[in-house]
Amino acid sequence: MPRNVSRSKKALAKPIGILGGGQLARMIALKAHEMGLPVRILSESSDDPAAQVASGWVKGSLNERKTLKQFLNSCSLVTFESEFLDASLLSDIARETGTPVYPRPHDMAAMQDRLTQKSLLLKHKLPSANFFPVKSYAEAQKALTKLGGRAVFKKRRFGYDGYGTFVVHSPSALAKIEAEFGSNIYGFIAEQFVPFRREIAVMVGRSQKGQTIRLPFVETYQENSRCLWVKGPLRETSALKTLAHKLELFLKATGYVGIMGIELFDTGRGLLINELAPRVHNSGHYSLNGLCVDQFSLHLKAILGQDLGKPVLTAKGFAMLNLLGHSSRKPSWDLPSDIHLHWYGKHDNRPGRKMGHINALATTPDEALALVKKRLRNFDV
């Protein structure tokens, strides 16, 4: 029997474990089902988006030793939907149980903290905005001056969707968030304000066997620091191609396993990396319809060591629009046939909460974007 056949059989002896029950875990689980792969979710409630669609679900906390150990013992390999886990606990348990966790916990550890993430970027000569670590209000004031009076303060840990990001344009604006510096034990980074022309994102990945993949570059649009839409593919300039090459070298040098989301600023004069996420990512949701293979299936293939192939576009243009909650009312819609709905099954609607997304395909990225924007009217979220 060829070696790869016995390996994939071994991988299927127990399910693939996913730590977390949110929409990212749900979309990984749905794709695992399509690929004939059994999955098991660890999350707090059977109502969680991923728990609703997975055949295997275990109730429990993601940072609790006994629960994690039992869970890892019941899985052939484990992945996660959020980088905000106890990476050293996860690393210990992976070693004790012999169950691999991908992306590896030490990669998670490096990226879950905005300061160590910056160090990682510097170490691998990846361009990013100037910054200073900040622990107190006094240090924040100094950093603001050194950064020319405009800065973005970011909580080192647990920030997402703009929660934990403070754009500051004056000393008086900084004074308004003084209390934040006293109450946050992990501290902040103060980053140079980047007057970007547009924001860009790209999904990259590396398989257990060392094969790398890169999806198309896309433009992303954030409102109140939260992603609203994505459109693509972008025309590949030489600057984008050069960056893609650097990212490939980065994946190879670190030996990363899995899919990684990368956010960028296009300043008009160059590209800066804003953020790395060691997981599937909102900016890659378009791939469910815009590519022949989506980021969730690719993530599964990467962690299983299967061939990643090449991403092929299904249309000349694609767009994704997040369906964000506007109230606490139960959402309703009448589904147009020219877009694709991906609903997350969240029990409670809340203003700003990501409840689902819609994808559209067209002959240009702008046409696809116009279509999803138009179809938003069909949704009462």
Ligand X SMILES: Nc1ncnc2c1ncn2[C@@H]1O[C@H](COP(=O)(O)OP(=O)(O)O)[C@@H](O)[C@H]1O
Q: Which residues bind Mg ion (CB under 5 A)?
A: 263, 275
Residue closer to Mg ion, measured from CB, 275 or 294: 275
Residue closer to Mg ion, measured from CB, 215 or 262: 262
Least Å from the CB of residue 277 to ligand X: 8
- Considering CB distances under 5 to 8 angstroms, the limit depending on partner class, which of Mg ion, ligand X, none binds residue 298? none
Calpha distance 175→164 (Å, rounded): 16
Element (H, E) at 123: helix 114-123
Calpha distance 200→218 (Å, rounded): 6
Residue closer to Mg ion, measured from CB, 81 or 275: 275
Least Å from the CB of residue 131 to ligand X: 8
Give the 3-state secondary structure of residue 8: helix
Cβ neighbors of 359 (< 8 A, separation 6 or more) are: 285, 286, 288, 289, 290, 318, 319, 320, 339, 340, 342, 372
Residue whose structure tokens are 């198309």 = 216
Least Å from the CB of residue 142 to ligand X: 18
E strand spans, 288-378 = 317-324, 332-333, 340-343, 354-362
The backbone region for 352, taken as left when phi is positive above 0, alpha when psi lies in -120 to 50, beta otherwise, is left
Least Å from the CB of residue 225 to ligand X: 4
CB 230 within 8 A of CB 319: yes
Q: Based on the number of CB atoms within 10 Å of its own CB, is 71 exposed (0-12), middle (13-18) or buried (19 or more)?
A: buried
Residue closer to ligand X, measured from CB, 283 or 289: 283
Least Å from the CB of residue 7 to Mg ion: 36
Residue closer to ligand X, measured from CB, 193 or 333: 193
Give the 3-state secondary structure of residue 252: helix
Q: Which structure tokens are listed for 112? A: 């879950």
Interaxial angle between packed helices 23-34 and 295-304, expressed in degrees from 0 to 180 and rounded to the nearest 10: 70
- Considering CB distances under 5 to 8 angstroms, the limit depending on partner class, which of ligand X, Mg ion, none binds residue 280? none
- Interface with ligand X (CB under 6 A): 129, 152, 154, 159-162, 165, 191-194, 199, 222, 225, 263, 274-275
Least Å from the CB of residue 167 to ligand X: 6
Residue closer to Mg ion, measured from CB, 48 or 275: 275
Residue closer to ligand X, measured from CB, 220 or 254: 220
Three-class SS of 171-191: HHHHHHCHHHHHHCCCCEEEE
- Considering CB distances under 5 to 8 angstroms, the limit depending on partner class, which of ligand X, Mg ion, none binds residue 161? ligand X
List the beta bridge partners of residue 16: 39, 77
Chain residue whose CB lies nearest Mg ion: 275
Residue closer to ligand X, measured from CB, 204 or 293: 204
